[in-house]
Every structure is written in structure tokens, then in C-alpha cells.
Amino acid sequence: MNKILLKNYHLFDPSEKLNYFGDLLIQDDKIKQISPSIELSDIKIINGNGKLLIPGLIDFHVHYRDPGETYKEDIKTGSEASLKGGFTTVIMMANTNPTMDNLSAISDQKKIIDQNSRIRILQTSSVTIGRKGKELVDIDLLSKNGIVSFSDDGDVISDPKILHKALTLANKNNRTILEHCEEHDQVKDGSVNEGSVSIRLGLKPRPKDAEIACVKRDIDLAKKNNLWIYLQHISCKESIDLIRNAKNQGVKVTSEVTPHHLFMNEFWSYGKKGEVPSWIDLSSYDTNTRVNPPLRSEIDRISLIEAVNDGTIDIIATDHAPHSFGDKLNTFDSAMAGINGAETALITLLELVDRKEIDLEKIIKTMCNNPGEILNNILNLNIGKIKKDYKADLVVIDNNDQTKIDDDFFVSKSSNSPLLGSNMKGKIKMTFFDGKLLFEDKE
């Protein structure tokens, strides 16, 4: 019988009103006891010396590039990167090659996961075959075979009739559609937020109106038909206003934001950590900031933070999108879109806590409690809380330490991050998954 006593930790989980210094007993893969003091002999003890102990993080949005682009990432390295970042459960998107759109492909994927993953990986299916937006996958069959939800992520579902039918079938199976909110016709081949930065750098704009129109359409559809929809990587104030109003009206809408949209604004596109370059430096940019949807204005960033703090945003998810060095060694417009986020997500958010922009309580709610509640309702996993008989998925954080983000920092195959060269407040010291210590920072 595997037993570990975690002694002298700052136990923190607002959903359980847990905020005190105490001990936690792990037995096999579950939390057995939580108390201000647990005294046991003949047991492995790990002394926390007052470090912060929180539930294992849950990531609703990762791209592990497996199968099809494993030179960027694969399930083994992706799971190791997420584990280092404090994540114990992740949901993989379906935009692989081949697309995860049928039972055979998903069965093959599960074998790879079982053989290679260090953590709990759940799989989405695409909504439509080949993510072409035309013909629905077999939502009933795939739901019965472990698919957690459905997403054509990377592309919006343009046809409202297809989306309506997909939502109806998914909801019937206690699942939903994770919707990429950007209208094709408006984004075209744009790469950066429409405004002063796109003008100054001479780059094709990717207007937020493309997101706003999609968010409005999807909310209206959900409201009219009493359906539950999940809106991915929200990035602007107007979308937040629509979502907040919809929630106040009782619409079943779940909304997601990424750490990079909370931490960075459009000025980061210049490649100077958010500083506006001098008038003479018009060609400076960092392709590591190329992401869809793009980094927005400071007004938008602040609106997203306010939405996390007031509960309008339900989930913070990484949209972990690793790319090779060559994928980013290009012009901004031609560079592949995506930011490597698994290992830096919690660290960037702890920096925002230190700046008093976001409450730590809200981070735990949006990265542990809320996603855990959704998945527990779908699959009965007992994750996302520090609670007796829940899975012993736990993260230890040292708020008095710092994290240096350089090329040597990443265990992912890729390091396409605008945060390279940064020193961030806080450090992830340990991650426990299923009661086992699988990551430990020994520096």
C-alpha cells in the first residue's frame, strides 16, 4: 500500500474553504486525510516547510501534435511538459493528422496515451469529419467510447445548422462543443490585432470583430435552444460583455481564456516584452507572439482579468501549441500561430497574483475547481479539489522562489514562447499525479 504524508504545507483550495497550514495523507492514489496535524510513523514523509499546496491543474485545451507532427511535440513530451507546469489532467484537441474523427483513430490514440503519458489525458473528437464543417461525426458513438467533448478547434463551425445539430447531440450525451470563435471570412490570413501595431508593422490585421460576431451568434443559438456551449480562447472586451450579459440571462455558456491573453498585450508583438519601440524601429517583431486569436489591446487584457475575477470567465486553459524553431523562423505573417504554454501558464499567473491583478483564489477556481466540476459531471473522475477520497493530484509551489525561463527550462520539444529571457515570481516544486510524486524541481 502506497502511503505518503505531506507535512507542514499551506493547504489552499477555496472550493473546500481550505486555507491553513497543515498535513495531508495520500494513500494509494487518493487523498485519505486532511488535518492541521497528522502524526504517523513508518511512513514516507515529505516536509513542505510552509510551501503552498493546491489541487493538480486541469488544462481544457492542449495540442500535443501526435499523430502527424511529432517533431514539434508528442504525447510523452507533451505530458511531461504539462506535468512540470503543474497539470495532472489535460484535454487534447482533435486537429491532428489524421483528425480524431472516428472510433478507429481514437482507439489507436488511446493506446499511444496509455503507453506514453505521464498524466491523465482526455481526448476530444472533431465536430465534423476532417474538420471540414460539413458532415457531423458520430457524436453518440464517440461519447459512449470516452470522448469528453467535441471541437473543430482551429476552425469555427460556420454553418449554424451544423452547430445547432452538433450541440443538441452533444448535450444529449452530457457533453458540449468547444468552439473556436473566429469567423473565417473576417480573419482570412490576418496575423496581428487590428490597430496601431498592425499598421506600424505593416502586418495583415486579424480583427476582433471576427470573434465578436461568432460569440454573439453562438450565444444567441444557445439561448434560443436552451443549449450548453463552450467558447474557447476569448480575447476581447466586447466578447466579455456579451458573455457576461448572457450569463446574467441564464444562458448556458462556458468561457475560456489563455494565460498569454491575460499576461500580454499587442505591444508584445514588437518583441520587446511589451515595450513600444522607438519610431525608427519599425521592423521589430517576435514571431513567438504570433497566435490565434492575436494578443489584443491593454484595454482588452484588463477586461479579461476583470472577467476572471468576477467569474465571467470559467476556465483558464493554455492552448499549448508547440512549434519547431523553423516554424517560427519566418516573417510574422508566415510564421505558424501558437505559443508553448504548458510549462509557463501557472508561473505567468503567479506573476499576476504578485502584481495584485488576479486573486490566487480565482486561479484555483478556473484551473482546478471549475474544469474539475465539468469533468466530474461527465466522467465521474473526482478531480480538481483537495478533498477526502478525491484523486491525489496535487501541486507544490514556492512563492518565495523565482523561475528563469530560458531554452534550458523547457522539457517540451519546443520553446516557442515570448517569455524566453524572463524571470517570474514563484516556482513549481512538485507535481503529484494519482498519489505519486512524478515531478520534482531539485534546484
**Catalytic amino acids?**
319
Backbone angles phi, psi at 6, to 5 degrees: -95, 115
d(CA 257, CA 307): 10
Helical H runs in 57-152?
Answer: 75-84, 103-116, 139-144
d(CA 181, CA 164): 15
| Cell numbers for 364 | 484555483
Residue 33 CB: number of other CB atoms within 10 A?
Answer: 13
Q: What secondary structure, in 3-state letters, does 145-199 show?
A: CCCCCECCCCCCCCCHHHHHHHHHHHHHCCCCEEECCCCHHHHCCCCECCCHHHH
* Closest to 234 (Cα-Cα) out of 127, 336, 123, 319: 319
| Cell numbers for 306 | 476583470
How far is C-alpha 10 from the geometric centre of its chain's CA atoms? 25
d(CA 433, CA 443): 21
CA distances from 425 to 151, 304, 428 (A): 34, 21, 10
d(CA 143, CA 173): 7
Name the 3-class secondary structure at 268. Answer: helix
* Beta bridge partners of residue 12, listed in sequence order: 19
How far is C-alpha 210 from the geometric centre of its chain's CA atoms? 22
| Cell numbers for 284 | 521589430
CA distances from 152 to 92, 131, 286 (A): 12, 5, 28
Residue 399 CB: number of other CB atoms within 10 A?
Answer: 16
* 350 and 367 Cβ atoms separated by less than 8 Å: no
Chain position carrying cell 486579424: 206
d(CA 22, CA 433): 20
